Amino acid sequence: MQGNRWYESWNRAGLDETSQNPANPLQLNISPIRNWRALEVFLYLWWQDLPVNPLYDKGLERIGCYLCPAMLESEYEELKTIQPESAERWTAFLESWAAKKGYPDAFSSWGLWRWRALPPKMREICRQKGVEINDDYTLKTGPARPAGAMVDKRKGKTMKPAMEKQAGSGLDVQAVRKDFPILGDIIYLDNAATSFSPEPVVQAMVEFEHTYRANVGRGVHRFTRIASQRYWHAHEKVAGFIGAQSGITVFTKNTTEAINMVAHGLSWKAGDRVVTTILEHHSNLLPWRNLKKQGVEVDSIGIRPDYSLDLPALENAITPSTRLVAVTHASNVIGVVTPVAEIARICHDHGILLLVDGAQSVPHMPVDISRIGCDFFAFSGHKMLGPTGTGVLWMREPDLEPFILGGGMVEAVTESGYTAAEGYQKYEAGTPNIAGGIGLGAAVDYLTGLGMENIRSHEERLTTRLINGLRQVGGVHVYAPEKPVPRIGVVSFTVDGFHPHEVAQHLDESAEILVRSGHHCCQPLVEELGLPDGTVRASLGLYNTEDEVDMLVATLEELTR
Ligand code: PLP
């Protein structure tokens, strides 16, 4: 039921008693007073002694839907006095949207945001003022720019435009962002779960599909030779990227599969022990716990009050029965980097194996496993700009029993057994994720091109800004070391009075900020931190900007207010 009337505008002059909403065919509009004039409306109100909406007296005509694009400019002006905070928030949003899209200032300052295709009156204003429009009457866009005019509500000041390529950073983030069209209008802070892939990675996979798709292995036709060569080359690139001059670099589905391959591939006996830590992702805990069936015990080492790994406790936990230490290189909840080289030294002093879970380190810092000195190193391709369904297991010696047997992993099959192939093939039975592997090679090229040192320093700067910003918001608790210690851009926090899922939902709905909430597959740690509902986790990537960090902080500031 609507109060639209013929005399309101030319558009409404032909209004029928019933009409269908063109944008929503399920909505039937009924216009019972379409032939009334304003005089009749007011006489009716007076006659029936009906209450009048007080907002009319405040200058608002369109009170049915608040912040309706069809509101008059004068109504927006009124709004600034009636609801200054909401108006300020709306203006800040319009300005940052205009900056992101590359619209001229007139987009927000003249209310041009209210039309997709500008009506004749607005086109005339644009012509007079020199604002460029397209042939379809939409506004011309320019290059995206930092939301420099964004209002910092905390201080009532204007935020400083971010200098993304800062002295010493060496990373031109705005140029990098052009390779990630998916970034579009969102602020992606869920990189610890998975990262986005740049265009060269997508193109490498499309090229495989379009021009030489074939199975790899022993074939002689041209496609299979190209595919095999590129797939093999991707392994070489990945090995080089982590400093693996020797050993075997196997492609897996993800980190989880890589760790399971080790847990299943070693031979265990009752009484063996595995030492792991409370920082571990479930993927580096459950495969070890599962060995209980074979009589293997698992010890878990804690963290100290400053969130660092309790290294003395780790050394003390090692007994003559300990066979392996499994430790993460960087925490996916609190971002601390563990001293893996020191742990490797301890392990080798005791003659035990070390597995390092590099899922969160490889995408964010230079990693050289020849310096770490571990025996196994696992990580995920999809967290380092590679395709989903890609991961890696590097092993010093090919001593593991293959987890899966079948085609592609054998040199010869006899009546009673088989001779395993050498190299990674032994551990990649069946048709592998060929496009994914080649895409992962392209991701390595991309990261190498940017420089891992550059990526690390850019992300470090953002992390410090994020932690400092969050610490200034009342009601927000940050779970990060006070002192700057080696860490990656994974920051967990909670907000008083809100469940982490509520915070994450609010960030998405109100500011298009995508973060993760919950236990982050690391329940023992979040429970140890006394957070049964988990945390909100913002995790940074190389394409994130200072403006995005500020936007997160400002949105939380608003929420807590
Ligand atoms: N280890 C760590 C530290 C992680 O952060 C993750 C995923 O978030 C994993 C392991 C599991 O990775 P995937 O899901 O790729 O197997």
Q: Are residues 191 and 242 in the same domain?
A: no
Q: Are residues 538 and 420 in the same domain?
A: no
Query: Residue 158 above 60 pLDDT?
Result: no
Residue 99 beta carbon below 6 angstroms from any ligand 1 atom: no
- Decide if 64 is inside a domain: no
Q: Are residues 552 and 429 in the same domain?
A: no
Q: Are residues 540 and 484 in the same domain?
A: yes
Residue that wins the pLDDT comparison between 397 and 65 = 397
CATH number of the domain to which 435 belongs = 3.40.640.10
Angle at 404 between CA 401 and CA 408, to 5 degrees: 100
Closest-lying ligand 1 atom to the alpha carbon of residue 194: 8
**What is the percent of the chain with per-residue pLDDT over 70, rounded to a whole number?**
94
Residue that wins the pLDDT comparison between 157 and 3 = 3
**What is the percent of the chain with per-residue pLDDT over 90, rounded to a whole number?**
69
Looking at 450, 467, 490, the residue that finishes a domain is 450
Residue 338 beta carbon below 6 angstroms from any ligand 1 atom: no
Angle at 97 between CA 92 and CA 101, to 5 degrees: 155
Q: Are residues 407 and 494 in the same domain?
A: no
Query: Residue 291 above 70 pLDDT?
Result: yes
- Decide if 399 is inside a domain: yes
To test ligand 1's pocket by mutation, which of 262, 282, 377, 380 has the most ligand atoms within 8 angstroms of CB? 380
Q: Dump strand ranges (E) for 396-534.
A: 410-413, 418-420, 476-478, 490-495, 513-514, 516-518
Q: Are residues 259 and 330 in the same domain?
A: yes
Calculate the average pLDDT of the chain: 91
Residue that wins the pLDDT comparison between 64 and 135 = 135
DSSP letter for 210, please.
Answer: I
Q: Rounded to the nearest whole angstrom, what is the distance from the C-alpha of residue 481 to the centroid of ligand 1?
A: 22
Q: Are residues 370 and 473 in the same domain?
A: no
Q: Report residue 8's pLDDT band, with 50, 70 and 90 as the boundaries.
A: confident
Q: Are residues 414 and 477 in the same domain?
A: no
Q: Rounded to the nearest whole angstrom, what is the distance from the C-alpha of residue 380 to the centroid of ligand 1?
A: 7
Residue 281 beta carbon below 6 angstroms from any ligand 1 atom: yes
Residue 276 beta carbon below 6 angstroms from any ligand 1 atom: no
Dihedral over Cα of 61, 67, 69, 74: its sign: positive
Q: How far is the first Cα of the chain from the last one, in angstroms, to the nearest whole number? A: 37
- Atom 12 (ligand 1): residue with closest C-alpha? 255
Structural domains in the chain (count): 2
- Please state, in angstroms and rounded to a whole number, the distance separating the CA atoms of residues 115 and 201: 37
Q: How many CB atoms lie within 10 A of CB 412?
A: 9
Q: Are residues 426 and 461 in the same domain?
A: no
- pTM for the predicted model, two decimal places: 0.74
Mean pLDDT computed over 230-245: 96
Looking at 400, 425, 450, the residue that finishes a domain is 450
The verdict on whether 65 is a catalytic residue reads no
- Decide if 132 is inside a domain: no
- Decide if 7 is inside a domain: no
Least confident of 60-74, 80-94, 508-522: 60-74
Is residue 140 within 8 Å of residue 134, measured between CB atoms?
A: yes
Closest-lying ligand 1 atom to the alpha carbon of residue 257: 16
Residue 360 beta carbon below 6 angstroms from any ligand 1 atom: yes
Residue 256 beta carbon below 6 angstroms from any ligand 1 atom: yes
- Please state, in angstroms and rounded to a whole number, the distance separating the CA atoms of residues 217 and 238: 19
* Per-residue pLDDT reduced to its tens digit, 102-130: 899 889 888 899 888 898 888 988 998 89
Is residue 491 within 8 Å of residue 463, measured between CB atoms?
A: yes
Which of 68, 126, 374, 521 is catalytic? The answer is 521
Q: Report residue 54's pLDDT band, with 50, 70 and 90 as the boundaries.
A: confident
Q: Rounded to the nearest whole angstrom, what is the distance from the C-alpha of residue 154 to the centroid of ligand 1?
A: 36
- Residue 336: per-residue pLDDT: 96
β partners of residue 393: 250, 378
Q: Rounded to the nearest whole angstrom, what is the distance from the C-alpha of residue 329 to the centroid of ligand 1?
A: 11
Give the domain extent around 315.
199-450
Closest-lying ligand 1 atom to the alpha carbon of residue 330: 3
- Decide if 4 is inside a domain: no
Residue 328 beta carbon below 6 angstroms from any ligand 1 atom: yes
Query: Residue 333 above 90 pLDDT?
Result: yes
- Atom 15 (ligand 1): residue with closest C-alpha? 254
Q: Rounded to the nearest whole angstrom, what is the distance from the C-alpha of residue 381 to the centroid of ligand 1?
A: 10
Q: Rounded to the nearest whole angstrom, what is the distance from the C-alpha of residue 357 to the centroid of ligand 1?
A: 8
Q: Are residues 409 and 278 in the same domain?
A: yes
Q: Are residues 246 and 395 in the same domain?
A: yes
- Decide if 459 is inside a domain: yes
Mean pLDDT computed over 370-379: 97
Q: Are residues 217 and 204 in the same domain?
A: yes
- Decide if 544 is inside a domain: yes
Query: Residue 151 above 50 pLDDT?
Result: no
Looking at 403, 425, 450, the residue that finishes a domain is 450
Residue 359 beta carbon below 6 angstroms from any ligand 1 atom: yes
- Residue 26: per-residue pLDDT: 75
Query: Residue 152 above 50 pLDDT?
Result: no
- Decide if 214 is inside a domain: yes
- Residue 165: per-residue pLDDT: 57
Mean pLDDT computed over 416-442: 93
Closest-lying ligand 1 atom to the alpha carbon of residue 329: 3
Mean pLDDT computed over 470-490: 92
Q: Rounded to the nearest whole angstrom, what is the distance from the C-alpha of residue 281 to the centroid of ligand 1?
A: 6
Is residue 29 within 8 Å of residue 20, measured between CB atoms?
A: yes
- Residue 66: per-residue pLDDT: 64
CATH number of the domain to which 527 belongs = 3.90.1150.10
Is residue 539 within 8 Å of residue 489, measured between CB atoms?
A: yes
- Residue 154: per-residue pLDDT: 35
